[in-house]
Amino acid sequence: MTIKSLLSFVAATFICGSSVLVEARQPKAPTAVAKPTVSQPAQPQWKLFTAPDGRFSVLMPGRPNRNTQFQKTYMGEINLEIFVAQPPKQQVAYVVTYNDFPYSYGEMTDPQAVLNNARDMALKTTKSNLISQRDIRSSNNHPGKEIEYINSGGKITKSRMYVAEGRLYQVMAITTKKQQKTLAKTITGYLNSFQIVFKK
């Protein structure tokens, strides 16, 4: 399974990489007396994002960037899709990734084994320590796992993984200890908003 490649990309890009900061400017209201201005971080506008193939939806702080990778594995070529949104002036990345398994592998493999393997690869690839984990289910009853882990640089990742119809989804928020405390409710709301849509 090529979760390692996927997580290496996510780790390199969003844990070690730099983010572009955009300054939002508000139009000045007409006033006779000049008031001192206090710089406040721009609050992102959360909008419902639906995947291009229509198979999941999630609230995101703006339109996410999309990256597609193709990885050769012992199972054959696997397509990795990565969607990332980073609000301006916040040290946080909201990430949704998924990969489809070849039909035979998806049919024969126990979903819990896939989830456990994904957890182990996430910890190994990012050189992180597990903080907590629990088994969960999606709103339409697909098996899942929620994990939280911290790497040596102090970045905390809260991730929910689901196996559904031959696909592994990973919904993550990657942030700092300081930001995690202030964004705890936002991160939970983001994770709760993720919905898997059945194939028609």
Model confidence pLDDT, tens digit, residues 158-189: 999 999 988 999 999 999 998 998 999 999 99
- Residue 136 forms beta bridges with which residues? 144
Please say whether the dihedral angle defined by the alpha carbons of residues 176, 81, 186 and 132, taken in this order, is positive or negative: negative
DSSP-based three-state secondary structure for 186: helix
What are the tokens at 102?
């070849």
The pLDDT value recorded for residue 21 is 28
- Quick one: 47 exposed, middle or buried, by C-beta within 10 A (0-12, 13-18, 19+)? exposed
**42-59 residue pLDDT tens:** 567 899 999 999 999 999
Q: Which residue has the higher pLDDT, 31 or 143?
A: 143
Segments making up each domain of the chain, as ranges? 3-15+45-196
Name the DSSP letter for residue 85.
E
Tokens of 66: 């999309």
- Residues contacting 19, CB < 8 A, separation 6+: 86, 91, 93
The whole model's pTM is what? 0.77
Could you please state the CATH topology (level 3) that the domain comprising 3-15+45-196 is classified under: Protein Transport Mog1p; Chain A (3.40.1000)
Please list the residues that pair with 157 across neighbouring strands. 149, 174
What is the bridge-based pairing of β-strands 155-164 and 143-151?
Answer: antiparallel
Q: Which of 26-30, 106-110, 124-128 has the lowest mean pLDDT?
A: 26-30
